[in-house]
Structure 1
Amino acid sequence: MIPNDTPWSGLEVGKVDTRRVNASARWNWFWAVMPRADVALVLQLSDLPKPAPDLPKLRNLEIRFQTLPGGPILYVRLNDSAQLELFETLCRDVIAAGELAETEADALERAIGRTFRWHYLLRGGKLEVLSEEAQKGLIGEIEVLKLLIATFGAKPAVAAWTGPSGAPKDFELKADCIEVKARRGASQPFVKITNEHQLADVPDRRLWLAILAVDKVQPPHGRTLTEVVSEVTELLERTEPSAIMDWDMHLADAGYDVLHDYSPWRWIVSAPDFHAVTGNFPRIDAPVPLGVSSLSYSLALSACTPFRTDWGDLQANLIGEVRA
């Protein structure tokens, strides 16, 4: 039985029955009921894309292209009626993303990309919100990511963001690596290096340390982590929707869940200070003596000052890397 308070109520069960989502919508979206009484969202297409793009494989969802007498469609079908409320939220989110598109091909790409965003949520997600320290760290990395997006474009910048996957450095490019440290502005003038690999040299790559102040503030000042994430998501949706899947994968790896409430925390963030980690830069470098591992230590900001560089110089190095 389909509840009356859903967009599928009134559709006939036992056959394929559809209802247009919105007569004024730019693209042809339909609420649908499939033969097994499963509810679905349908996007009617003029043509099937060639080659067909990869489709997300999600537990309790079936996502496929199909050619019907009226033409080809993409459908997203729910196989677990217990998740009906969540599925409606997913569908409305997918529609909203697709409606931003100027062409049908772009609408399809955005719809698929937004469906990929839900892969992590529908397989369980995180039970708890990120701690304050984890929020600060993620915000710091996103601030550096925004600079790289402006330099390289979204796709290569997001691909270079390796910190959430557990890589030794937060960003790994062809000839450069960047480690990011977020600190409280009023704290002691140190940053915590959590292992001996974070500032270790990488063969044939330059290494940079970015340090930002990320401070908790009271409303109405600052922004929540959700707002910081949404800003980048909206940027990708406007400029390079093909990067959204990687973006969401990284957020999921970092422990960010779109359904968590981050409204109790608001943050302001400084522009990052960059340092060239080279020569006599103060650090414990790998390899360390045999039998010693998992080192952590405090690095004094004053000791880093001689190695300070500004973003313009670093950006020139990065642009040179692209042109090389």
Structure 2
Amino acid sequence: MTHVRSVMTMSLRTTELDPWRGIKGISSASYYPSRRVSADLNPKGRRIDWSISESGNRALIVEYQGAVDSSPVPRFKGMRIREDKPGHLLMLELTEPSMRDVFLKVCLDIIAVLQSIPEDIQRQACLHRLERWSVFFRTERIGLGAKEQKGLIAELVCLENLLTSFDSHTVIASWVGPDRAVHDFIFGQDAIEVKSNRGSGTPNITISSVDQLTVNEKERLFLFVVELNQSAAGSGLTMTQYVERVRNRIASPLAESAFEEKLATAGYFDVDDYSGMTWSQGMTRVFSVTDDFPHIDGSLLDPAISNATYRVNLDACGKFETTKNELLTTLRGV
């Protein structure tokens, strides 16, 4: 990719459906006719241009500042990303015309992110955001089902509670549930397993593996159980609203970028429509999982049994119940 110097500065209103309309000129390997993204989308005046590639495809060119780090450029179907490291340029090029609406959303998202990012980390933040979108392009979009929504919302509720005592970088880094780790949050030798249930009438929770409630003498494990029920429209929050509630608590742009990556790994994307299902949140219960907490010990199972799923009645676990404050105090090491 060659350095782009020629930029057409025609104005563009955000109400236009096609920001590439009217870009004139013949593209080649050394020249891309371009239009600077206008101030209503780009109030910080970042060097970001709508452009047409030499293949005639819609493109977005980002000229970034600062040193080039080792972060790799993601690859995925439907969109190509090229980089001119000497020229400090990234080009996003649409290669699958049927995905043009999603491509525009990606471009607008990148533009918005770069407004709040310090100039010396523009490349890193841009690639982090693109990595999040790459998951979207790799997968068939059907959105999260009710069970997946419920599980993710419970983890977001736990994350919100952790943000009251820890900085956003620490909390997002500790959130390993989307990575399919054994537990949902890891703080050194401490771990949190998040579960959801339907309230006092159904106190059982499902344990999906023999490892989930197994601890050794150096570990401390907590159960964080959130009551969640599907509710009538208008009486609860959608999946999207729960996500937005957490976003509003994250002040650091880099932590927000990491949060978006975790959401993508979990299968959540803003472009999916979750307006048809709302969830009401009830009480939260916390339990300290010690050796004598009711559980299946994998070390005692017959070797022929490779795994097991079982249910625990929380009403029979009262002596292990603790508080959210005690959980946070333990994690802080106070």
Bucket of the pairwise TM-score, normalised by the shorter protein: 0.7 to 0.9
Does 1:252 pair with 2:272? no
Secondary structure in 1 aligned to 2:307? coil
Does 1:96 pair with 2:112? yes
* Structure 1 counterpart of 2:284: 272
| Aligned-residue identity in percent | 27
Instruction: Report deviation, 1:49.
Output: 2.4
Instruction: Please tell me the root mean square deviation across aligned C-alpha atoms, in Å.
Output: 2.6
* Structure 1 counterpart of 2:137: 122
* Structure 2 counterpart of 1:154: 168
Instruction: Report deviation, 1:31.
Output: 0.5
Does 1:74 pair with 2:90? yes
Please list the CA deviations of residues 150-179 of structure 1 after superposition, one character each: whole Å capped at 9, or x if unmatched.
433223322322223322222222111111
For structure 1, the 5+ residue unaligned runs are none
- When residues 23 and 196 of structure 1 are mapped into structure 2, their CA distance, relative to the original with a 3 A threshold, is closer
Secondary structure in 1 aligned to 2:26? coil
Secondary structure in 2 aligned to 1:151? coil
Q: 1:43 aligns with which of 59, 62, 67?
A: 62
Secondary structure in 2 aligned to 1:196? coil
- When residues 203 and 39 of structure 1 are mapped into structure 2, their CA distance, relative to the original with a 3 A threshold, is farther
Q: 2:195 aligns with which of 172, 178, 181?
A: 181
Q: Is the 8 A contact 2:60 2:91 kept in 1?
A: yes
Q: 1:58 aligns with which of 60, 76, 101?
A: 76
Give the 5 Å matches for 1:127-276.
Answer: 128-185=142-199, 187-236=201-250, 238-242=251-255, 244-245=257-258, 247-276=259-288
* Structure 2 counterpart of 1:316: 329
- TM-score (norm: length of structure 2): 0.82
Which amino acid is the alignment partner of residue 60 of structure 2?
A: L
* Structure 1 counterpart of 2:21: 9
Q: 2:35 aligns with which of 19, 31, 55?
A: 19
Which amino acid is the alignment partner of residue 170 of structure 1?
A: D
Please list the CA deviations of residues 289-311 of structure 1 after superposition, one character each: whole Å capped at 9, or x if unmatched.
21234323322222221111111
Which amino acid is the alignment partner of residue 116 of structure 1?
A: E
Q: Is the 8 A contact 1:125 1:257 kept in 2?
A: no
Q: Is the 8 A contact 1:176 1:207 kept in 2?
A: yes
Distance 1:13 1:84 in 2: 21
Please list the CA deviations of residues 56-115 of structure 1 after superposition, one character each: whole Å capped at 9, or x if unmatched.
3333311424455xxx433322333343222111101111222234x4335555433322
- When residues 297 and 133 of structure 1 are mapped into structure 2, their CA distance, relative to the original with a 3 A threshold, is same
- When residues 182 and 159 of structure 1 are mapped into structure 2, their CA distance, relative to the original with a 3 A threshold, is same
Secondary structure in 1 aligned to 2:287? strand
Does 1:111 pair with 2:126? yes
* Structure 1 counterpart of 2:308: 295
Distance 1:125 1:232 in 2: 26
- When residues 253 and 287 of structure 1 are mapped into structure 2, their CA distance, relative to the original with a 3 A threshold, is farther
Distance 1:187 1:299 in 2: 14
Q: Is the 8 A contact 1:155 1:240 kept in 2?
A: no
Distance 2:129 2:96 in 1: 20
Secondary structure in 2 aligned to 1:94? helix
Worse-matched range after superposition: 107-116 or 90-99: 107-116
For structure 2, the 5+ residue unaligned runs are 1-15
Please list the CA deviations of residues 261-295 of structure 1 after superposition, one character each: whole Å capped at 9, or x if unmatched.
11111112235311111142222222232123432
Q: Is the 8 A contact 2:203 2:315 kept in 1?
A: yes
Which amino acid is the alignment partner of residue 129 of structure 1?
A: G
- TM-score (norm: length of structure 1): 0.84
Q: Is the 8 A contact 1:163 1:169 kept in 2?
A: yes
